[in-house]
Chains A and B, each alone.
Chain A
């Protein structure tokens, strides 16, 4: 029997329900911070590029807040019983912004050619794929080498955007002029980019979802100074402040302004988790008891309540609670100064000072570094905070030149995509700030992760991930801090501002303005 997974009906119902009250028309002013280098998300995938480019390009699927796949460019899909064949039926009447029809050839070109050359995340996903084929114009078939259940959650717009074959085939992808004037299938079309000022998108009148998008125009404004961004929202020049684009200490003031709403939703897919890399190659971080002492020393509730205004959640382990297969396993490490001191005494820690490298992402991270320094010094670990800019931070972490370093990473919808890369021995490689930077190696865990990635069905994966989480909780290769909460602050007149697990980049097609 073939399992039919199709959320078309549910989507149809929500679409019509929203359509009953939604009013077309109007424009939105949003902050984009910092200004992206490019909004062609096949090559540039930083947050700001996705925020804008996510409205221009689409993938086969979107995900709801529980990471359940929903139709995007694929209207329905089936998975064979052995979990090896994924067949996608494409939407009818999809056109590129230049008027040419979008077909399965474009999906094939993107998956087999463009993204394989330009996108490391896509390359990783495709290591599990045997072949991508198109029996006809409207059907695409992915044949997997092994039953990689995470695959269905790996088709987000920022891993596998569908790109126009007729524009890119046979050209130099990096310098193609279309990178500057992107052509996608999305609900909004590119109109103008005044560098240093704004990016302007306009409604795609030929969008294949009838009646959408509701908004006529989107302006993404570039305001480089944090205080000025807050003022722009206060004075009504900006309608939407995406999560993470104003300093945390400005948030309480902004959210109390009249007609101001906030939401923490729209980060379920990315599920940003912060931690301290503890360089396991060096003493005393090579000692598991020292690492446990660090965990006990950290007052993470304080960080959440004071530095992050209560947004987010204290991390209970290597997986964000938003991820499938998450489990709150023992042991946990609540703030306990005495336990930390006891462990340090037990291992005879000599009080050697350690260096702490903060994330160079603004004031909050600087203050957090100071709070961590205070926590660690309280239990007797002297800390020296080092300074680095983004380039310096990248170089230091990816070349392992640090003692303790802040980081946060997206977990990308599945532990086999966004989590095991940080702990597996095979992921220890210099030059990459996103893999196993701490240098932790445990063959038992490697085996668990490898098996869990390809186990089928999901219940089998759950068992294996439970064990993996427990193992990691005991070994504490890194010190997990918070599941970060990035509230979106917006004028309450804007409705349906977040409708998918990826938030603002994908939701503008559903957003509308209450008159």
Chain B
């Protein structure tokens, strides 16, 4: 197991460097550079100003030199300096990461927990009312664009009913501390986390239901029934566990998106997370910051892929991890 993990980690580092190099060229292929954007914002520019900016950012050097400087600093765990925000990239990412993780993990837990429960419930009542309703609701959430759901959520719960705050991470200027602050953040979290969670919840529900129905038709379930086991025990101990494999795969994919997958929701709800940092960096051609976010999110994807592979073995001991 340890050998497997260390082997995978080594591969992950190589993949990460490849991704970094690829991203580097992709970003530089987009028209315009940060100096042009900053000159554009200044409302005034002269060639000396542009030259000054390009020199300051090292953009006057040949591309391969810039790449070499970047990759060698990434290897030393230094993600460089943000051109625009005039702060180290690691600091900027570090400031935003907790908010994103809180949002994404909450959405992850909501979607996985509720989705699997709803799917299991529906499969046990195949063809009945409960199944139809759950399947229909899941289909609606699956098909509705996230930003629309988000805006409707704000209109209903924030503008009309006034139950929940419609934007932000906490009440600005309230200066809550301790438990009061935690509660305040929790209230702000509900709408974005639910909205972000709904899509994956629908996916988990549909997948768990389908997978459980499929497993339910297998011979060992018939045997269990013939043995006289109670239906609840069969469903939970035998069917659900065997049906979880595709769910784990999907959870691994979702977890990989924890860092970069919430751009839209973060924008609508003014959630100070990393998704927005990435979007801003892209529109402003803040190369180092953008690459930094890519490196961090790629590392997350690789990490969760590894965790998924390990979980496979735990969920289903038949899978030989070493192979």
Give the residues in chain B near A224, CB-CB below 8 Å: 266-267, 270, 276
A37/B86 contact (C-beta < 8 A), A392-B31, A394-B32 known:
yes
Q: Is A227 an interface residue (CB 8 A)?
A: yes
B97-124: contact bitstring with A at CB < 8 Å (1 yes, 0 no)? 0010000000000000000000000000
- Cross-interface CB contact of B43 among A45, A174, A234, A389, cutoff 8 Å: A45
Within 8 A of A (CB), among B266-304: 266-273, 276-277, 280, 283-285
A432/B159 in contact, CB under 8 A: no
Assess whether B284 is in contact with A231, with CB atoms less than 8 Å apart.
Answer: no
Pair A390/B37 contact, Cβ less than 8 Å: yes
Kindly list chain A residues whose C-beta atoms are within 8 Å of the C-beta of B167. 223, 228, 231-232, 237
A46 touches B32 (CB 8 A): no
B30 beta carbon closer than 8 Å to chain A: yes
Number of A residues contacting the other chain (C-beta, 8 Å)? 55
Give A8 to B49 CA distance when docked, in angstroms. Answer: 37
Q: Is B47 an interface residue (CB 8 A)?
A: yes
Residues of A within 8 A of B277 (CB): 196
Known: A120-B46, A120-B48, A123-B46. A222 touches B36 (CB 8 A): no
Answer yes or no: A179 CB below 8 A from chain B CBs. yes
Q: Which residues on B sit within 8 Å (CB–CB) of A37?
A: 38, 84-86, 284
Given A34-B280, A222-B272, A231-B159, are A121 and B47 also a contact pair (CB < 8 Å)?
no
A18 lies within 8 A of chain B by Cβ: no
Indicate whether A180 sits within 8 Å of B87 (C-beta atoms), given known contacts A231-B166, A391-B283. Answer: yes
User: Is A396 positioned at the interface, with any CB of B under 8 Å from its CB?
Assistant: yes
Contact of B44 among A227, A232, A434 (CB under 8 A): A434
Task: Name which residue of chain B comes closest to A175, CB basis.
Answer: B86
Interface of A is mostly: mixed
Q: A235 at interface (Cβ–Cβ under 8 A)?
A: yes
Instruction: Report if A431-B47 is in contact (Cβ < 8 Å); known contacts: A222-B272, A225-B270.
Output: yes
* B260 CB to nearest chain A CB (Å): 15
Does A282 make an interface contact (CB < 8 A)? Answer: no
Q: Is the CB of A120 within 8 A of B42?
A: yes
Given known A29-B173, A235-B158, contact A225–B39 (CB-CB < 8 A):
no
Nearest B residue to A194 via CB reads B272
A44 CB to nearest chain B CB (Å) = 8
* Complex alpha-carbon distance, A433 and B39, angstroms: 8
A410 to B163, CA, bound (A): 43
What chain B residues lie within 8 Å of A217 (beta carbons)?
A: 173
Are the C-beta atoms of A228 and B166 separated by less than 8 Å?
Answer: yes
A179 x B173 contact (CB < 8 A): no
Q: Does any Cβ of A come within 8 Å of B226's Cβ?
A: no
Given A29-B173, A197-B172, A221-B168, check contact A433 B45 (CB 8 Å).
yes
Q: Check B154 for interface membership: any CB of A closer than 8 A.
A: yes
Given A29-B172, A196-B272, A228-B269, answer yes or no on A390-B283 (Cβ-Cβ < 8 Å): yes
- Given A120-B48, A174-B56, are A434 and B272 neighbors across the interface (CB < 8 Å)? no
Complex CA distance for A260 and B173, rounded to whole angstroms = 22
**Shortest distance between the CB of A290 and any CB in chain B (Å):** 28
B13-39 near A? 1/0 per residue, CB < 8 Å: 000000000000000001111101111
Residue numbers in B under 8 Å from A124 (CB-CB):
44, 46
Residues on A with C-beta less than 8 A from B46 are 120, 123-124, 432
Find out whether the CB atom of A391 lies under 8 angstroms from the CB atom of B168: no
- Chain B nearest CB from A487 CB (Å) reads 21
Q: Is B151 an interface residue (CB 8 A)?
A: yes
Q: Which residues of B contact A227 (CB under 8 A)?
A: 151, 268
Assembled-state Cα–Cα distance A389/B279 (Å):
12
Q: Which residues of B contact A123 (CB under 8 A)?
A: 46, 48-49
Most B CB within 10 A of own CB, among A27, A228, A429: A228
State how many angstroms separate the Cβ of A27 from the closest Cβ of chain B: 6
B158 with A38: CB separation less than 8 A: no
A367 at the interface (CB under 8 A from B): no
Whether the pair A196, B276 counts as a contact (CB closer than 8 A) is yes
Tell yes or no: B169 within 8 A of A by CB.
yes
Contact flags (1/0) for A374-390 with B, using CB distance below 8 Å?
A: 00000000000000111
CA A197 to CA B273, docked complex, whole Å: 9
A395 on interface, CB distance cutoff 8 Å: yes
B40 at the interface (CB under 8 A from A): yes
Taking CB atoms, residues of chain B closer than 8 Å to A390 are 32, 37, 40, 283-284
Contacts of B48 in A (CB 8 A): 120, 123
Say if the beta carbon of B78 comes within 8 Å of chain A.
no
CB distance from A355 to the nearest CB of B (A): 15
**Interface: B247 (CB within 8 A):** no
- C-beta contact mask, A219-243 vs B, less than 8 Å → 1, else 0? 1011111011001101101000000
Does B130 count as interface, using CB distance less than 8 angstroms? no
Closest approach, in angstroms, between the C-beta of A127 and any C-beta of chain B? 11
Q: Given the complex, which residues of A lie within 8 Å of B95, measured CB to CB?
A: 195-196
16 contacts between A and B (CB under 8 A): A34-B280, A46-B41, A46-B42, A179-B86, A180-B87, A196-B96, A221-B168, A223-B167, A225-B269, A228-B154, A231-B155, A235-B166, A389-B32, A391-B37, A431-B47, A434-B43
Known pairs A46-B41, A235-B166 / 5 extra A-B pairs, C-beta < 8 Å: A29-B172, A35-B280, A391-B31, A391-B36, A398-B36
Nearest 5 Cβ contacts at the A-B interface: A196-B272, A391-B32, A46-B41, A37-B84, A395-B32
Which A residues fall within an 8 A CB radius of B? 27, 29, 34-35, 37-38, 44-46, 117, 120-121, 123-124, 174-175, 179-180, 194-198, 200, 217, 219, 221-225, 227-228, 231-232, 234-235, 237, 388-396, 398, 409-410, 429, 431-434
